Structure 1
């Protein structure tokens, strides 16, 4: 068996296993989010809201990772936008958790905000300069004949300006 085919089969098997694990994590995350509603009802609204925000953002992270693995499984490539989306969600989750629990200092929040800004710029640039969009923007335009293949009369016609006699 060819080593490239073996590598392809191994990566397909591993990505399939990760897809099932992420699907299970997504189901468990949704169940945990639904169970966190009890914190809003039986405890304070602030504590319940903290649990809900953490759970929902965690589920969004798992959804983004799931999307990235599905894309890899189908197209054998990882999109930069999927990875930056997941990373942005992770940073947002950490900021939300830290702000609600009041654990972070101002320097740490500023560094996370800077990281978020850089990731946002990276995301915008990845969309703007996407290889798929670059391929679509190339339109086949037939090239003009080379001067060496044109006759002298044609070359002079291209060089001389056309005068309108009105």
Structure 2
């Protein structure tokens, strides 16, 4: 006699995997489009700065470049998830560190930080750095 629950479980797992694969592929394409538009935006900013039509200047380019690095790390995270079906803490930590660095760079050039905010970001960077170092020193065991 065929166990219908077993067949139902297999179908549910297959459906779940297909949906997750579909969603990750869509997100990867969205990230590719975001990367391309970000690079084009940076090139236009550089062109505007060279010809003197942009008021934001160097700080805006630094912020945009760091945003591109964040998108690259997110792209790596989704690629790794698609291949290994797990999210590695290293990629997430790297992306978060880059986000904090982007905020610091944007704030420094805009001169809009008070000491509590800088202290908070510094603490966050310290904790993320410790997590990143521990992950590199003690990687998870492969199963």
Q: Give how far 1:38 is off.
A: 2.8
TM-score normalized by structure 2?
0.87
Partner residue in 1 for 2:91: 82
Residue of 117, 131, 139 corresponding to 1:108: 117
Instruction: For residue 101 of structure 1, report the CA deviation from its aligned partner.
Output: 0.1
Distance 2:130 2:78 in 1: 23
Cα distance in 1 for residues equivalent to 2:44 and 2:64: 10
1:36 match: secondary structure = helix
Structure 2 gap ranges (5+): 1-7
Taking structure 1 as reference, are residues 51 and 35 closer, same or farther at Cα in structure 2, changes over 3 Å only?
A: same
Bigger relative CO (Cα 8 Å, ≥ 6 apart): 2
Q: How large is the RMSD of aligned CA atoms in angstroms?
A: 1.8
SS of residue matched to 1:35? helix
Aligned length: 133
After TM superposition, the structure 1 = structure 2 runs for residues 51-130 of structure 1, keeping only pairs within 5 Å, are: 51-130=60-139
Distance 1:45 1:19 in 2: 31
Match of 2:47 among 27, 32, 38: 38
Per-residue CA distance 1:27-81 (angstroms, 9 max, x = gap): 0010001111034223499831011101100100000000000000111110000
Contact persistence 1:39–1:47 (CA under 8 A): no
Q: Secondary structure at the match of 2:57?
A: helix
Q: Which has the larger radius of gyration?
A: 1
Ranges in structure 1 where 5+ consecutive residues have no aligned partner = 136-166
